[in-house]
A and B are shown apart, each in its own frame.
Chain A
Amino acid sequence: MACCVAVLIKENLIYLRRSAEELKFLFLIHASIDILDDKVNQLTKPTSDRDARDFYLGLLYPVEEYKIYGYVSSTRVKFILIFEHSTSISLKDPDIKLLFQRLHQAYIDCISNPFYEPNTQLKSKRFEQVVTSLMVQNDPLTSAIASSQASSVPSTSVIVPTAI
Chain B
Amino acid sequence: MAWACAMPEELSIVPKGLVCLANLDTRHQPVHRSIWELLDKERPSAQLRYRLVDIDEQYPHSKAKRATYEWYVPKGILKTNWMHKHLHLVPSLIVIFFELDWNDPLFKDKQNELRSQIEMVRTSLDGRAAVISIVLLQNKNSFPTVDDVYSSERDQMANTLCNYFDIQKRSLCVLPVLPQPDNLSAWIDRLEQTFIESSQNYYTNEIRLVKKHKETLNNITHQLLHIRHQFKVGFFSELRQDIPSAVKSYRNAYSYLTESARIHDTNILEMKMVAGFLTYKICRISFELSQPVEAINHFRRHADIFKSKIGPTDLVFEHKAWLSKQFQTFADLFTLCPLAIQTQHPGFYYQEAAYQSMARKQISQACNRIEQADVDPSEFLKGTEFYGQRPWRQHHQSMEITDAQKEREAIAALRDAESRINHSELIISLLVQAITHFKKHSSNRMKLYLMYNLAEEYVSSKNYDIALNHYNHIVQAYRSENWWLILEAVLPAALKCAYLSVDLPDWIRFTLEILNPNINLSSQLKNQTQINFENFLLKHILPPVESTISSKDEQWKALPEKQAIPIDADTLKGLLECKVYFTHEAVSVDSEIILQVALKNGFPLPIEFSQLLLNFNLKEYNTLVHVTDIAKLKFLPGEQRILSFNFAPKSDHVQRLLEITSVSLIYGSVDRTHIDFQWRTSLQTTPSFQQTFLTPKWRTKAGHVLWENLPMRRKINIIMRAAEVQLTVEHQLPALLYESYPIKIKITNCENVDIHSATLTCTCSSSDDTAPTADDSLLSYSIADTNTETTAHACSRKLYTITKAAEIDQDLYVRCNNNRPREITIRFSYERLNLHCMKEIVIQLSVVNPFSIQFQTMGMMMEPLASLRAQEPFILMIDTRCTSIIPITIVNSSFKPSQFVISDCAIESQIDNSK
Contact = CB atoms under 8 A, between A and B. Distances in A.
Is the pairing of A and B real? yes
Interface of A: 11-13, 16, 23, 26-28, 30-35, 38, 60-64, 119
Contacts of A30: 445, 448-449, 478, 481, 483, 486
B444 A34 contact: yes
Contact of A35 (B342, B481, B482, B489): B342
Nearest to B442: A34
Contacts of A119: 690
A12 B573 CA distance: 15
B452 A62 contact: no
Contacts of B860: none
A12 B452 contact: no
Given A11-B481, A32-B445, 6 more contacts: A13-B485, A30-B486, A31-B448, A31-B449, A34-B442, A119-B690
B690 A35 contact: no
A64 B352 contact: yes
| Secondary structure class of chain B's binding surface, majority of residues | helix
Contacts of A38: 342
Contacts of B478: 30
B874 interface: no
> When A and B form their complex, which 9 residue pairs have the shortest distance between CB atoms, in order from nearest?
A31-B446, A27-B449, A34-B443, A61-B343, A34-B445, A11-B481, A23-B489, A31-B445, A26-B486
Contacts of B482: 11-12
A30 B482 CA distance: 11
A35 B442 CA distance: 10
Q: Which of A28, A60, A61, A64 has the most CB of B within 10 A?
A: A64
Contacts of A62: 343-344, 348
Nearest to B696: A117
A59 to B, nearest CB: 8
Given A34-B342, A62-B344, A26 B485 contact: yes
B348 A23 contact: no
Interface in B32-68: none
Contacts of B442: 34
B443 A31 contact: yes
A33 B352 contact: no
A159 B489 CA distance: 40
Contacts of B342: 34-35, 38
A35 B342 CA distance: 8
A60 B445 CA distance: 14
Contacts of B452: 27
A26 B443 contact: no
B446 A64 contact: no
B355 interface: yes
17 contacts: A12-B481, A16-B485, A26-B483, A26-B486, A27-B449, A27-B486, A31-B443, A31-B448, A34-B342, A34-B444, A34-B446, A35-B443, A60-B343, A61-B343, A61-B348, A61-B446, A64-B303
Nearest to A23: B489
Contacts of B690: 119
Q: Which of B448, B452, B478, B483 is the most central at the interface, judged by chain A CB atoms within 10 Å of its CB?
A: B483
B355 A64 contact: yes
A11 B486 CA distance: 13
Interface in B473-493: 478, 481-483, 485-486, 489
Residues of B in contact with A, size category: 20 to 34
Centre residue among B352, B442, B446 by max chain A CB count within 10 A:
B446
Given A30-B449, A64-B352, A35 B485 contact: no
Nearest to B356: A64
Interface of B: 303, 342-344, 348, 352, 355, 442-446, 448-449, 452, 478, 481-483, 485-486, 489, 690
A119 B489 CA distance: 24
B489 A13 contact: no
A64 B348 CA distance: 9
Contacts of A64: 303, 352, 355
Contacts of B481: 11-12, 30
B209 to A, nearest CB: 43
A78 to B, nearest CB: 13
A63 B444 CA distance: 17
A11 B448 CA distance: 14
Contacts of B486: 23, 26-27, 30
B343 A35 contact: yes
A54 B445 CA distance: 26
A23 B452 CA distance: 11
Nearest to B478: A30
Contacts of A26: 483, 485-486, 489
A30 B483 CA distance: 8
Contacts of B446: 31, 34, 61
A11 B355 CA distance: 26
A27 B443 CA distance: 13
Nearest to A38: B342
A155 B442 CA distance: 38
Contacts of A27: 448-449, 452, 486
A85 to B, nearest CB: 9
Nearest to A62: B348
Nearest to B303: A64
Contacts of B483: 11, 13, 26, 30
B520 to A, nearest CB: 12
Nearest to A16: B485
A23 B485 CA distance: 9
A152 B485 CA distance: 36
Contacts of B352: 64
B344 to A, nearest CB: 7
Given A27-B452, A60-B343, A33 B445 contact: yes
A136 B485 CA distance: 24
B346 to A, nearest CB: 12
Nearest to B483: A30
Nearest to A64: B352
> Which residue, of A23, A28, A60, has the highest number of chain B Cβ atoms within 10 A?
A23
Interface-centre pick from A32, A38, A60 (highest chain B CB count, 10 A) = A38
Contacts of B343: 35, 60-62
A94 to B, nearest CB: 21
A86 B493 CA distance: 32
Contacts of A28: 449
Nearest to A119: B690
A108 B342 CA distance: 31
Nearest to A30: B445
B68 to A, nearest CB: 46
Nearest to B323: A64
Contacts of B485: 13, 16, 26
Contacts of B344: 62
A28 B355 CA distance: 14
Nearest to B355: A64
Contacts of B444: 34
A13 B452 CA distance: 20
A26 B445 CA distance: 11
Contacts of A31: 443, 445-446, 448-449
Contacts of A11: 481-483
Contacts of A13: 483, 485
A12 B442 CA distance: 20
A30 B480 CA distance: 13
A26 B343 CA distance: 19
Nearest to A25: B485
A47 to B, nearest CB: 17
A100 B355 CA distance: 30
B348 to A, nearest CB: 6
A16 B488 CA distance: 15
Nearest to B307: A64
A27 B481 CA distance: 13
Contacts of A35: 342-343, 443
Contacts of A32: 445
A63 B342 CA distance: 13
Nearest to B341: A38
A132 B426 CA distance: 41
A12 B690 CA distance: 14
A31 to B, nearest CB: 4
